[in-house]
Amino acid sequence: MTPEGRVERLERIAKLFVRAGRRARADLRQQDEKINILINLHMQNEELFARNEERFKKNEERFRLNEERFAQNEERFAKNEERFAKNEERVAKQAEIILTILEFQKQTEEKFRANEKRFARTDKIFIELAESQVETGRNLKSLIKLIREVRNNNAEN
């Protein structure tokens, strides 16, 4: 091989090295960009995780508060159930009282009806008595008139 052939060969090899170096640099730049992108995404994920942790803490506090409220509501419901049971007993007693009152009212109405019939008979008797008194009064007047006439006739004779 001639010295010029060697130099050309060296130049080709040098060009290959330069091209390989350029490719390697470009690949390194791309890898650096990809690594930067990954680092940025990782940092964003860390921020999201931190925010989610805050949200989880807030949610856990809300859940705890809700559990306390539910416990209080359960107590209230239990008290209300007791009150409802007492009210149902009261309503049942009042219903019994009302039924008793209605029965007494029914009996009283029957007595009133019976008394109305009696009063109607008594009214008839009073009317007959009044008519009888009027008749007796007329008869008495006629008798008195007759007695006076007889006296007047006896006194004249």
Residue 155 has pLDDT above 90, yes or no: no
Helices (H), the chain: 3-156
Structure tokens at 88: 């149902």
How many alpha carbons lie under 13 Å from residue 66 in its C-beta half-sphere? 6
Report the percent of the chain where pLDDT is more than 90: 82
> Tell me, what's the pLDDT at 157?
66
Report the percent of the chain where pLDDT is more than 70: 99
> Tell me, what's the pLDDT at 156?
77
C-alpha to C-alpha distances, 104 to 96, 99, 107, nearest whole angstrom? 12, 9, 5
- 1: Cβ contacts below 8 Å, ≥ 6 apart: 9
What are the pLDDT digits (tens) for 58-69? 999 999 999 999
pTM above 0.75, yes or no: no
- Rounded distance between C-alpha atoms, residue 113 and residue 117, angstroms: 6
- 32: Cβ contacts below 8 Å, ≥ 6 apart: none
Three-state SS for 114? helix
- Rounded distance between C-alpha atoms, residue 111 and residue 27, angstroms: 117
What are the pLDDT digits (tens) for 86-140? 999 999 999 999 999 999 999 999 999 999 999 999 999 999 999 999 999 999 9
